[in-house]
Structure 1
Amino acid sequence: MLRWPIAILILANVLAFVALRGAFGPTPTAGGHEPAHLNRQIRPESVKVQSVSAADAGDQAVVGGPAPMAPISTSELPE
Structure 2
Amino acid sequence: MKRLLALLLSGGLLVELLSLDYTKAVGSYAYYVAHWKEVGIPNLVTAILADWRAYDSLGEATLLFAAVTGFYLLLGRRKI
- TM-score of the superposed pair, with normalisation by structure 2: 0.29
- Higher relative helix content: 2
Decide which structure has the larger Cα Rg and report it. 1
More RCO (CA 8 Å, sep 6+) = 2
- TM-score of the superposed pair, with normalisation by structure 1: 0.29
